[in-house]
Amino acid sequence: AQRVTQPEKLLSVFKGAPVELKCNYSYSGSPELFWYVQYSRQRLQLLLRHISRESIKGFTADLNKGETSFHLKKPFAQEEDSAMYYCALRGLNTGFQKLVFGTGTRLLVSP
Amino acid sequence: ETGVTQSPTHLIKTRGQQVTLRCSSQSGHNTVSWYQQALGQGPQFIFQYYREEENGRGNFPPRFSGLQFPNYSSELNVNALELDDSALYLCASSLKAGATNEKLFFGSGTQLSVL
């Protein structure tokens, strides 16, 4: 079964503090992992994907297959990072774009 | 470049009724998928359409059905509405149906309330 777990509903930090949003997954095959973000009054949008090994807006995420994790990190949080973050999984070679989402973590960055 | 648009933005229906939600894909995208997002939950995959055919489905009953048109716009139909169908329904389009690392573009959603 495919499952994505985000254990924190809310993460509250001060501006400039490091941030780590946790994501663990369960999948028997080779997964693709993504982080999607939803800023206030905006639509859900892709933040980053593990295959691209990219850094977007200072955020990075490393796929750890041993721990089945894909935690999202940023060394210095900014107020504009406040948003809802969803970790999502897709099985490779499934032939369609089914994403399995976690329940999301709300990040609140205070001044 | 036009984004994914959904209509209506809000809808109120009564249990047992039928509803049709509409989605216009991003320009050039031939694949559309629909998600249901209940309050406090992440989006849950309903199904995907590629070139007017359903080519993937999640754990939703047959009363959830869809259509994709030649211009790649799409509809989600739900029959015999139940109270638990109350949710935000998201449409997402992409360029290629099963491509690796494919990016989904989401609409703003339709908030459905079933009374």
Contact between A79 and A32 (Cβ < 8 Å): no
Sheet of A72-74: strands edge to edge? Answer: A19-21, A72-74, A60-61
Interface of B with A in 30-69 (CB under 8 A): 31, 33, 35, 40-45, 48, 50, 55-56, 58
Choice between B95 and B45, residue whose per-residue pLDDT is larger: B45
Chain A residues with beta carbon closer than 8 angstroms to that of B95: none
Strand partners, B68: B74
State chain B's maximal CA–CA distance in angstroms: 40
Residue B24 pLDDT class (50, 70, 90 cuts): very high
Q: What is the pLDDT of residue B76?
A: 98
Q: Which of A25-39, A83-97, B56-70 is predicted with the least confidence, judged by mean pLDDT?
A: A83-97
- Nearest by CB: A99 against B97, B104, B105: B104
Inspect the interface and report whether the beta carbons of A97 and B33 lie closer than 8 Å: yes
Inspect the interface and report whether the beta carbons of B43 and A99 lie closer than 8 Å: yes
C-alpha B34/C-alpha A98 separation (Å) is 9
CA angle B73, B80, B19 (to 5 degrees): 30
- Mean pLDDT in chain A? 91
- Read off the DSSP letter of residue B71: T
Inspect the interface and report whether the beta carbons of A96 and B40 lie closer than 8 Å: no
C-alpha B111/C-alpha B89 separation (Å) is 6
Choice between B98 and B69, residue whose per-residue pLDDT is larger: B69
For residue B47, the chain A residue with the least C-alpha distance is A98
Residue B82 pLDDT class (50, 70, 90 cuts): very high
For residues A30-44, average pLDDT = 92
User: For residue B8, is pLDDT > 90?
Assistant: yes
User: For residue B65, is pLDDT > 70?
Assistant: yes
For residue B36, the chain A residue with the least C-alpha distance is A101
Chain A residues with beta carbon closer than 8 angstroms to that of B104: 46, 97, 99
Inspect the interface and report whether the beta carbons of B50 and A96 lie closer than 8 Å: yes
Contact between B26 and B3 (Cβ < 8 Å): yes
C-alpha B96/C-alpha B29 separation (Å) is 7
- Mean pLDDT in chain B? 91
Residue in A2, A92, A97 to test binding to B, most B beta-carbons within 10 Å: A97
Q: Which of A31-40, A45-54, B72-81 is predicted with the least confidence, judged by mean pLDDT?
A: A45-54
Q: What is the pLDDT of residue B74?
A: 95
